[in-house]
């Protein structure tokens, strides 16, 4: 039996009537971007997990567009300091492609409570939690297509290794192991002692002083600021540590996806500055996975160039679903 899901009337869907995604060649947010406040038809829900309730956005598929067979659901997992709202620009288009959407906050992110111990936020700990959610969806008769962005990709991989019954795995801007040396890893090194000693508000002040959100629409800045404030310190520290210590588990994943015949896609921004594109392409080769690099995107094509990302995701997923239907 699946765990119960609760519609959450107190959690309004993020909507901005005039918002639209804008592509940008560089940066984490396009100029004037309103991506996380992009309008969508998903409803806010609370999903039960082994670590407690998680807030999520759920959208039903357009049945007329379904690929046949059991209903399909894309479960989307955000990255470090992210949230379900990062997938707002994708929700309606995926649903219109005949695939439902469940976009989650991970434990400790934004509106989802989480444990107080940093070690519980490592992918090896969060993977089984996510695997339980996927198992609930499968028990309800849905074929789950699991997508993880950045740190969320490490968690999605751990979920599959923990036995999550998925019909496809997409790793987006996520590498084979720890973050290599570069700007993003250095930022984690710099911000960790600030977070430990002075708290989240000091981190927000530093990010604002650095102009990180200067090209972002004010409503989105408000959201980014608020979700940082509401995320757990243990979660931010634990995920940050994991990003600098995660082992390369690609060999394990290769064995698992081959044994279970799970189709895989590795997709990233053409100018990803976290894990190099060449590293992600090599990981895709090892997985015998499809690979795509999204132009006009760096580390978050879901907000930087969602239209181009959707051109990759929806056709690929629909092909997987058709191939999964017995003839």
Q: What is the pLDDT of residues 178-230, one digit of tens each?
A: 999 999 999 999 999 999 999 999 999 988 888 888 878 889 999 999 999 99
110-150 confidence digits (pLDDT tens): 999 999 999 999 999 999 999 999 999 999 999 999 999 99
Percent over 90 (pLDDT), the chain: 80
Q: What is the pLDDT of residue 325?
A: 58
Tell me: pLDDT of 48 over 60.
yes
Q: Where are the beta strands (DSSP E) in the chain?
A: 5-7, 43-47, 54-59, 72-77, 100-104, 143-149, 166-172, 264-269, 290-294
Of 42, 44, 26, 24, nearest in space to 34 by CA: 24
**For the chain, domain boundaries:** 5-324
Q: What is the pLDDT of residue 3?
A: 55
Fold category of 5-324 in CATH: Rossmann fold (3.40.50)
pLDDT bin (cut points 50, 70, 90) of residue 31 is: very low
The count of other CB atoms within 10 Å of the CB of residue 320 is 22
267 φ/ψ angles, rounded to the nearest 5 degrees: -135, 145
Q: What is the pLDDT of residue 13?
A: 34
β-strand 54-59 against 100-104: which pairing, if any? antiparallel
Beta bridge partners of 172: 149, 267
Residue 37 near residue 220, CB atoms below 8 Å: yes
Q: What is the pLDDT of residue 249?
A: 98
d(CA 4, CA 296): 40
pLDDT bin (cut points 50, 70, 90) of residue 25 is: very low
pLDDT bin (cut points 50, 70, 90) of residue 19 is: very low
Tell me: pLDDT of 50 over 90.
yes
CA-derived radius of gyration, the chain:
18
Q: What is the pLDDT of residue 132?
A: 98
Tell me: pLDDT of 4 over 90.
no
- Mean pLDDT, rounded, for 14-39: 46
289-309 confidence digits (pLDDT tens): 999 999 999 999 999 999 999
pLDDT bin (cut points 50, 70, 90) of residue 152 is: very high
Angle (nearest 5°) at CA 326 between 321 and 327? 115
Where does residue 230 fall: left (phi above 0), alpha (psi -120 to 50 degrees), or beta otherwise?
alpha
d(CA 178, CA 198): 26
d(CA 201, CA 228): 8
- Mean pLDDT, rounded, for 22-50: 70
pLDDT bin (cut points 50, 70, 90) of residue 1 is: very low
Tell the residue number behind the tokens 């984490």, with chain if given. 28
Burial 206-228 (b: 16+ CB within 10 A, else e): bbeeeebbebbbeebbebbbebb
Residue 200 near residue 232, CB atoms below 8 Å: no
Tell me: pLDDT of 15 over 80.
no
Mean pLDDT (the chain, rounded): 90
For residue 124, with 0-12 CB atoms within 10 Å meaning exposed, 13-18 middle and 19 or more buried, which class applies?
middle
- Mean pLDDT, rounded, for 85-92: 97
């Amino acid at each position: 039996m699946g765990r119960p899901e609760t519609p959450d009337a107190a959690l309004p869907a993020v909507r901005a009537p005039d918002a639209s995604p804008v592509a940008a060649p560089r940066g984490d947010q396009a100029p004037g971007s309103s991506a996380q406040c992009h309008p969508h038809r998903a409803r806010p829900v609370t999903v039960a997990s082994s670590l407690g309730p998680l807030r999520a956005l759920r959208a039903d598929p357009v049945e007329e567009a379904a690929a046949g067979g059991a209903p399909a659901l894309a479960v989307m997992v955000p990255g470090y300091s992210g949230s379900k709202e990062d997938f707002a620009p994708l929700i309606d288009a995926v649903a219109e492609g005949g695939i439902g959407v469940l976009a989650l906050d991970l434990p400790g992110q934004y509106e989802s409570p989480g444990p107080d111990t940093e070690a519980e936020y490592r992918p090896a700990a969060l993977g089984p939690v996510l695997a339980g959610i996927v198992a609930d969806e499968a028990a309800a008769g849905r074929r789950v297509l699991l997508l993880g962005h950045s740190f969320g990709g490490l968690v999605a991989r751990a979920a599959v290794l923990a036995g999550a019954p998925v019909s496809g795995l997409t790793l987006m801007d996520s590498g084979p192991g720890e973050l290599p040396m570069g700007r993003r890893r250095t930022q984690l090194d710099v911000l960790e002692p600030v977070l430990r000693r002075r708290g989240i508000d000091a981190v927000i002040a530093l990010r604002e002083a650095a102009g990180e959100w200067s090209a972002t629409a004010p409503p989105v800045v408000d959201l980014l600021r608020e979700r940082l404030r509401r995320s757990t310190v243990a979660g931010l520290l634990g995920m940050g540590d994991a990003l600098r210590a995660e082992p390369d588990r690609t060999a394990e994943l290769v064995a698992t996806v081959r044994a279970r015949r799970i189709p895989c896609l590795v997709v990233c921004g053409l100018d990803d500055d976290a894990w190099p594109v060449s590293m992600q392409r090599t990981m895709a080769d090892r997985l015998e996975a499809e690979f795509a690099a999204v132009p006009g995107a760096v580390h978050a094509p879901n907000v930087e160039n969602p239209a181009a990302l959707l051109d990759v995701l929806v056709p690929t997923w629909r092909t997987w679903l058709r191939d999964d239907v017995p003839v």
